[in-house]
Amino acid sequence: MWVSFGPRNPLENRKKVASGAWGPWNSSNAYDVIQYTVDQGFEVQAWELGNELSGSGIGTTKVSAVQFAADMKELRSVIGVLYDGASLKPLVVAPDGFFDYGWFKQFLTAAGPGGVDVITRHIYNLGPGVSEDLESKILNPNYLNNEKKNFRTVRSLLQAVAPSTVAWVGEAGGAYNSGHHLVTDAFIFSFWYLDQLGMAASYGTKVYCRQSFIGGNYGLLNTTTFEPNPDFYSALLWNRLMGITVLAASFKGALYLRAYAHCQKNTTQGGVTILLINLSKLITYKVSTVLLTAPSKTSTRLEYHLTAANGDLHSQVMLLNGNALGVTLDRNIPTLTPVQVDSSTPISVAPLSIIFAQLPDASVQICGS
């Protein structure tokens, strides 16, 4: 398991140098915290500085890109001292704020080659949790597509300015100010969440941190019962089925159907997993898979159909192949069992449903190594 810490004291002992702007970061508190983890032998893979101080910041609180780059050099120096002689040093991560092209470019340029290992950004593209139009945004493919621009721009910026730096989504809850009960903690949010995971992977974003595991109205667990919300199972299926190699998935004439494809996780036989998301309230899509690099053969396809209990998008119960998901009597995660289908038949994607379809015998060459 990866452990990454974000020192949430980026304003610790800073002095204001202008209205809303801040001077150099005082690293003494972070030094003590990092020293403690080293002394205790904790394996920390990354240290992150910042929380929504990039660009225009939050309100009048922000740090300039040039100053933040200097702060990162300070953090890099602290890590260099405390991990001196270590075979593997933690990653240096920043700024964990909202994406602003000009600020991010200036920051990466000022940080210099290798100045920051990972850039992180936040995504709350649905607006405030109190909004009454969250459902319409989640089910609107054109609205969802708006975030593609940011993923694409981040990738292009790194390629041009900092090719050794990778992109993470450091925090994403969709709707800020704690989400919206029975939307961001209900079945409907899996349309947004899984689409985000697929989109992020397709543009080379390496890590996607969900806000939150527990807490607010967008947690993966119910804050009262600790029962998994639907997105918990969506995340679990993604983790179990989707490998790290991203494949191209395309189709024509199906506006409300979203498709993503990856090599099957842990495959040695060239297996493929396809994620299909049907945002339509009326249309059932029939999807025939054409794997251009695979030989023609008849095999079994494994399908995981996800729907809302009683057809209620605001339900906090998810059905897998028609069966309600919930922890077992001994408080374990239930077995997630697919249905087996002849792979020569089309995949039937019902309205307002999500399908993971696994083709273990696809024999796609890039997935077999």
d(CA 101, CA 341): 46
Name the average pLDDT for the chain.
Answer: 93
Catalytically active residues, by annotation: 52, 171
Pull the structure tokens for residue 238. Answer: 């993604």
Domain end among 209, 227, 245: 227
Pull the structure tokens for residue 1. Answer: 């398991």
pLDDT in tens, 186-220: 999 999 999 999 999 999 999 999 999 999 999 99
Handedness of CA 15, 92, 161, 247 (dihedral sign): negative
Does residue 243 carry a pLDDT above 80?
Answer: yes
* Residue where the block lists tokens 């910042």: 50
Least confident of 45-59, 99-113, 164-178: 45-59
297 band by pLDDT with thresholds 50, 70 and 90: low
Do residue 215 and residue 276 come from a single domain? no
Tell me the pTM: 0.95
pLDDT in the model for residue 158:
98
Nearest 5°: the CA angle 17, 46, 1 is 145
In a domain, 152, yes or no: yes
Pull the structure tokens for residue 219. Answer: 């947690």
Do residue 184 and residue 296 come from a single domain? no
| CATH number of the domain where residue 43 is located | 3.20.20.80
Does residue 2 carry a pLDDT above 90?
Answer: no
296 band by pLDDT with thresholds 50, 70 and 90: low
Average pLDDT over residues 341-354: 95
Q: Which residues of 212-242 are buried (b: 16+ CB within 10 A; e: fewer)?
A: beeebbbbbbeeeeeebbbbbbbbebbeebb
pLDDT in tens, 316-337: 999 999 999 999 999 999 999 9
pLDDT in the model for residue 331:
92
DSSP 236: H
Do residue 197 and residue 280 come from a single domain? no
* Residue where the block lists tokens 């939050």: 58
d(CA 308, CA 114): 46
pLDDT in tens, 7-60: 556 777 788 877 767 889 989 989 999 999 999 999 999 999 999 999 988 877
Do residue 57 and residue 205 come from a single domain? yes
Do residue 105 and residue 161 come from a single domain? yes
Pull the structure tokens for residue 308. Answer: 């809302």
Determine the structural domain holding residue 199 and report its residue range.
4-227
Q: How many domains does the chain have?
A: 2
In a domain, 222, yes or no: yes
d(CA 31, CA 15): 19
In a domain, 328, yes or no: yes
Q: Where are the beta strands (DSSP E) in 60-132?
A: 91-97, 118-123, 127-128
In a domain, 244, yes or no: no
In a domain, 21, yes or no: yes
Q: Which residue has the higher pLDDT, 300 or 118?
A: 118
267 band by pLDDT with thresholds 50, 70 and 90: confident
In a domain, 245, yes or no: no
Cβ atoms of 195 and 259 closer than 8 Å: no
| CATH number of the domain where residue 324 is located | 2.60.40.1180
